[in-house]
Structure 1
Amino acid sequence: MGTDTELPPHVLIFPLPMQGHINSMLKLAELFCLANLHVTMLLSEYTHGRLLRHANIESRFSRYPGFRVATIPDGLPEDHPRVGERTMEIVMSLLKVGGAEFRKLMETTDALSDGGGRRRVSCLIMDGVLSFAVPVAEEMGIPFIYFRTVGACSFWANFCFKDVIEAGEVPLKGKDEGKYDYWKKEELDLMVTSVPGMEGYLRRRDLPAFCRARLESQKSEESSLPSSSFYEEDRSSISWLDSQPDKSVLYWAQVLVVMRPDSIVGDNKDNPIPAELEEGTKERGYLVGWVPQNEVLAHPSVGAFFTHSGWNSTLEGIAAGMPMICWPYFADQTINSRFVSDVWKVGLDMKDSCDRMIVERMVRDIMEVRRDEFLERALHMAELAKKAISEGGTSHTI
């Protein structure tokens, strides 16, 4: 057992306990391990359990003796679904209990020093949401770095939000009668001019969803590759893809539909997928619970990717040279989808208008009518991404 100065630096990585955030931070942890640093990954007890059951985290990191996992509770009951519309309850609960749990962990383990087997934590890298860890780090003299798991396009737009407000471009006014849940189409389509570098394509409808909703208090007053998956991957989808013609399959939905097994939370929890959907996909589709996404995107039979436009999925789609149909839900997804469609021009943006006619038109557009156009640009972006991570590239690390 060496002295503290003889031991490698010790990095503590603390992601938000959500799939996309953990994916990127596990990749960062692996890079640190390759550089012979000691790394502790701090996970919620719930997500750690899912990773042990459904991912290869133990075998993946078994070659790195300096890697280990620590856990804290997220404050939610064990039977909480932690998916769908209740996803944000994870964040709110962790913000409530996380500060005390993090402090207890750091104080009772002497900053995770393992009884002298490794240095006390030399640096804390935490998700940008988890600011409750800052006071503990400051008291212990530990340098800290915020890690944002979003793209630069979204981060820059949010960074400039004060200027957007001062320019009067938000809040949105809504209909003349003042109803907050209806917006004038012409107002939503106005360009945002106060974010430098985005003046030509960023619209008000591309801003985060909270710009189009009143504060909850106001509403109340008025209404009184390696795998890091939380879920078991259904590899039968790969065999099905092997039997399909090249570039014929739309991944989301001939149709590979992925529905996380517990992503629909309702009364019918034993079989949440509607029977009509299961029956309708038998001939021309393949309905699965969870897939190895990178492998699916790289499969020659897949011709397009229907995505919510999270940054992980956006990067994986670009790296695979895959045209995308974007149906964003919240957070950075609305800006990512705008860049996919109007800046990089590798897909279509379906936000705010997604009836069945629009969905059909966009699928035909990207799979048939403009297929060659989108595919050419997507493959060009994939080549740029490959160069960026190659030796001498702007994103090359080790």
Structure 2
Amino acid sequence: METREAKPVIVLFAFPLQGHLNPMIQLANIFFNRGFSITLIHTHFNSPNSSNFPHFTFVSIPDGLSESEASNPDVIDILHDLNSKCVAPFGDCLKKLLSEEPKAACVIVDALWYFTDGLTENFGIPRIVLRTINLSAFVAFSKFHVLREKGYLSLQDSQADLPVPELPNLRMKDLPWFQTEDPRSGDTLQIGVMKALKSSSGIIFNAIEDLETEQLDQALKEFPVSFFSIGPFHRYVSASSCSLLTQDMTCLSWLDKQTPNSVIYASLGSIASIDESEFLEIAWGLRNSNQPFLWVVRPGSIHGNEWIEILPKGFIENLEGRCKIVKWAPQPEVLAHRATGGFLTHCGWNSTLEGICEAIPMICKPSFGDQRVNARYISDVWKIGLHLENKIERLEIENAVRTLMTSSEGEEIRKRILPMKETAEQCLKLGGSSFRNLENLIAYILSF
């Protein structure tokens, strides 16, 4: 009897933050749909719901985080803790998996797992890295050592608007850095990530190279490894939630009652937090814009508060159905909804790409890291949104919403984002850049 050939296996190691889990699981689905068998290694901390993905094999490893470490507001500390505590568990897990048949073709790790540099090679298996930022932010991060040596990363506010000679599209305040108690901790992270990238067998991006051809050329000069820009990931696969928070689906039925392109959708991501005054300024700015708004306020994201209890009494009721506030939302569906006309965003790359794919113009309120780079590209390079440059005040929010949603300037922004949406659609079609790059990536993996 003829035996069916076993599917080639890919082992993926997901990093346990929402903005990293989403693209890794989307990537896993892309490979599964192309005939690969998928094994996903994940930590106990922020573990995904495996029941949503019965076609994958999930393997959990202990991460050793204490309760206080897991709730540390300094994300850089958590990154380092995970990288130190997961070395042995990941090594043991990989050793066991590689003893099974069929042997995995390669391991794909998130770039934040910098400890895997050298470790996978010891097991004789190629390591490909998933970088969850776009090429523009990647180039900015790649110049970290120069930026640090020249003192750009510690410039005072008075010099924040100066241009960066090595990155002409950016200002000093746009440099992709993270707030951490110890700047050396951020340096250690960047050095580790860059070293692990350069020693990898290749780098996968959830990006569209047609939108960033100049940045791709720059990146290739810095990194002597194979690049595969195959985004947008979420356009390859049907929506399967790997959300760490429960999504409030009632926001979709609320959107159904709104007129087309009338709603401003506001969400500042899965990590960043704001103080009470900023929260209230955003609240009044959205209210005073007179546009209907759907606002995601993550529990615990307002310093010192459980949720939205600091809103003035009657704030929501007085809007008479013109607002909906939820704890978490099914963002791709919200952005695709006919009622959504604008996006107040933290400019994480997943959110930015989802906005581009639905041609939703943006209002940028970045917090840290690549968000700053993305915001500058959105506002000044691609010109598909507005940038909240100053201290967050209600009048600034109100004016930005009105400009985006009701002015001729907003209409011009809307026109400029349409060709980018078209590019995002064309790149996935036969002969498109992401289509070709995915074919090359699959052939590359099968050659190992």
* Counterpart Cα distance in 1 of 2:389 and 2:38: 40
Distance apart, 1:6 and its partner CA? 5.5
Residues 93/80 of structure 1: CA separation in 2 closer, same or farther (3 Å cut): closer
Residue in 2 that maps onto 1:33 = 32
The structure 2 residue matched to 1:150, chosen from 123, 129, 133, is: 133
- Tell me the percent identity: 35
| Total equivalences in the alignment | 355
Q: 8 Å contact 1:23–1:228 — kept in the other structure? A: yes
Residue in 2 that maps onto 1:180 = none
Q: Secondary structure of the residue that 2:129 maps to in structure 1? A: strand
Residues 88/264 of structure 1: CA separation in 2 closer, same or farther (3 Å cut): farther
* Counterpart Cα distance in 2 of 1:120 and 1:352: 54
Residue in 1 that maps onto 2:88 = 100
Q: 1:74 is aligned with what amino acid?
A: D
Moved more, 283-292 or 312-321: 283-292
| 2:163 aligned with 1:194 | no
Q: 1:170 is aligned with what amino acid?
A: Y
| 2:340 aligned with 1:305 | no
Residue in 2 that maps onto 1:178 = none
The structure 1 residue matched to 2:398, chosen from 354, 360, 367, is: 360
Distance apart, 1:235 and its partner CA? 0.9
Q: Which runs of 5+ in 1 are unaligned?
A: 175-182, 218-224
Distance apart, 1:145 and its partner CA? 1.4
* Counterpart Cα distance in 2 of 1:79 and 1:211: 19
* Counterpart Cα distance in 2 of 1:172 and 1:325: 27
1:178-224: CA deviations, max 9, x gaps?
Answer: xxxxx20xx211111213xxx2x31111102359997369xxxxxxx
Q: Secondary structure of the residue that 2:311 maps to in structure 1? A: helix
The structure 1 residue matched to 2:332, chosen from 290, 294, 305, is: 294
Distance apart, 1:237 and its partner CA? 0.5
Moved more, 144-153 or 246-255: 246-255
Q: Secondary structure of the residue that 1:8 maps to in structure 2? A: coil
1:249-298: CA deviations, max 9, x gaps?
Answer: 110160111122344463x54xx322426742332310111111011101
* Counterpart Cα distance in 2 of 1:331 and 1:70: 30
* Counterpart Cα distance in 1 of 2:135 and 2:397: 28
The structure 1 residue matched to 2:116, chosen from 117, 122, 133, is: 133
Residues 264/86 of structure 1: CA separation in 2 closer, same or farther (3 Å cut): farther
Distance apart, 1:171 and its partner CA? 4.2
The structure 2 residue matched to 1:281, chosen from 291, 301, 316, is: 316
Cα RMSD between the aligned structures?
A: 2.8
| 2:70 aligned with 1:70 | no
Residues 90/121 of structure 1: CA separation in 2 closer, same or farther (3 Å cut): farther
Residue in 2 that maps onto 1:345 = 383
Q: Secondary structure of the residue that 1:145 maps to in structure 2? A: strand
| 2:2 aligned with 1:9 | no
Q: 8 Å contact 1:13–1:40 — kept in the other structure? A: yes
Residue in 1 that maps onto 2:252 = 238
* Counterpart Cα distance in 1 of 2:132 and 2:430: 23
* Counterpart Cα distance in 2 of 1:16 and 1:27: 13
The structure 2 residue matched to 1:247, chosen from 231, 254, 261, is: 261
Q: TM-score, normalised by structure 1?
A: 0.81
Q: TM-score, normalised by structure 2?
A: 0.72
* Counterpart Cα distance in 1 of 2:340 and 2:45: 33
Distance apart, 1:169 and its partner CA? 6.3
Please list, as runs of the form range in 1=range in 2, the aligned pairs for 1:16-27 lying within 5 A after superposition.
16-27=15-26
Residue in 2 that maps onto 1:58 = 51
Q: Secondary structure of the residue that 2:163 maps to in structure 1? A: coil
Residues 208/119 of structure 1: CA separation in 2 closer, same or farther (3 Å cut): same
* Counterpart Cα distance in 2 of 1:278 and 1:305: 26
Q: Secondary structure of the residue that 2:59 maps to in structure 1? A: strand
| 2:432 aligned with 1:393 | yes
1:83-136: CA deviations, max 9, x gaps?
Answer: 8x35444313202201122122223x253x4xx4x3233311111121212333
Residues 352/99 of structure 1: CA separation in 2 closer, same or farther (3 Å cut): farther
